[in-house]
């Protein structure tokens, strides 16, 4: 798929990944949510991400009659979708403002304190999920562990890899490479690629723990 214009300081991305156009507006929004004094203003970026994600769904030509009686050659959305958010529902509300029909579901994946590996705690997915396109929502992509675990859950329910669109607010290059090399057919859309990870696998400069900042 095509890679949009990315400013020069960015690392090169795998084929399946794309970044939102780095407009000043987007930078301003990120500046706000990065600021440790800020609370809950990420909705606008998430909406931009969802809109971009929806752009990757297929459409078919459709001609409609407008109220003034003219024909308009437009397109119609095809394929049903399903939104799945990892852990806290931060992205779900915003996703709903962009598309109303699909079911919104959650997968709870947390780090198992014994094995230090991401572990699936809870997943309730619709029966027909294997026929749907899935918008997988996770605000922060650090090493990609929980994201990959969630993708595995989806695949085990019969979802086709190329029908998964992973939406992400801020990503570390390591996470992008991990996810995209393991799932080359998946599409990954992020708003921003940060410098990298620190010793504790936190994204830097990042914005801290998204869930805590969004909900607490």
Of the two residues 37 and 116, which places its CB atom closer to another protein in the complex?
Answer: 37
**Of 20 and 147, CB closest to another protein:** 20
Q: How far is the CB of 167 from another protein (least distance, A)?
A: 14
Query: Which alpha helices (H) appear in the chain, and where do they start and end?
Result: 24-34, 43-54, 92-98, 145-156, 173-182, 210-215
Our finding on whether 107 is near another protein (CB under 8 A) is no
**How far apart (Å, rounded) are the C-alpha atoms in residues 198 and 213?**
19
- Shortest separation between residue 208's beta carbon and another protein, angstroms: 3
Distance CA 16, CA 177 (A): 10
Residues labelled as active-site residues: 111, 115, 209, 212
5 binds another protein (CB under 8 A): no
- x/- site string to another protein, residues 63 to 92, per CB under 8 A? -xxxxxxxxx-xxxx---------------
The verdict on whether omega for the bond into residue 205 sits within 30 degrees of 0, i.e. cis, is: yes
Query: Of 3, 7, 25, 181, which one interacts with another protein (CB under 8 A)?
Result: 25
Quick one: 183 or 192, whose CB is closer to another protein? 192
Q: Provide CB contacts within 8 A for 28, sequence distance 6+.
A: none
β-pair type (164-171, 187-193): parallel
Q: How far is the CB of 183 from another protein (least distance, A)?
A: 23
Which span sits near another protein by CB under 8 A: 21-29, 123-131, 143-151, 154-162?
21-29
192 contacts: CB under 8 Å, gap ≥ 6: 19, 20, 22, 26, 30, 169, 170, 171
Taking the CA atoms of 22, 26, 31 and 36 in sequence, report the sign of the dihedral they define: negative
Residues 6+ apart with CB under 8 A from 5: 21, 22
Contact between 187 and another protein (CB under 8 A)? Answer: no
* Smaller CB separation from another protein, 136 or 153: 136
- 62 within 8 A of 71, measured Cβ to Cβ: no
Number of residues that bind another protein (CB under 8 A): 47
Kindly state whether residue 213 participates in binding another protein, applying the rule CB under 8 A: yes
Q: Name the minimum Å distance from CB 200 to another protein.
A: 9
How far apart are CB 181 and another protein at their closest, in Å?
A: 26
């Amino acid at each position: 798929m095509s890679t949009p214009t990315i400013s020069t300081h960015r690392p090169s991305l795998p084929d399946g990944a794309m970044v939102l156009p780095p407009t000043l507006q987007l930078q301003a929004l990120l500046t706000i949510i990065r600021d440790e004094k800020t609370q809950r203003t990420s909705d606008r970026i998430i909406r931009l991400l969802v809109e971009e994600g929806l752009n990757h769904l297929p459409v078919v030509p459709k001609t409609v009659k407008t109220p003034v009686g003219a024909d308009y050659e437009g397109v119609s959305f095809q394929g049903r979708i399903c939104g799945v958010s990892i852990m806290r529902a931060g992205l779900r509300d915003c996703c709903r403002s962009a598309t109303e029909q699909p079911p919104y579901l959650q997968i709870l994946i947390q780090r198992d304190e014994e094995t230090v590996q991401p572990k699936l705690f809870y997943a309730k997915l619709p029966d027909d999920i294997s026929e749907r396109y899935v918008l997988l929502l996770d605000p922060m992509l650090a090493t990609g562990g929980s994201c990959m675990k969630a993708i595995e859950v989806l695949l085990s329910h019969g979802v086709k890899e190329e029908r998964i669109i992973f939406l992400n607010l801020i990503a570390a290059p390591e996470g992008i490479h991990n996810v995209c090399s393991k799932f080359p057919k998946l599409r990954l859309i992020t708003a921003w690629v940060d410098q990298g990870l620190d010793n504790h696998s936190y994204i830097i400069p990042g914005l801290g723990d998204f869930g805590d900042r969004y909900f607490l």
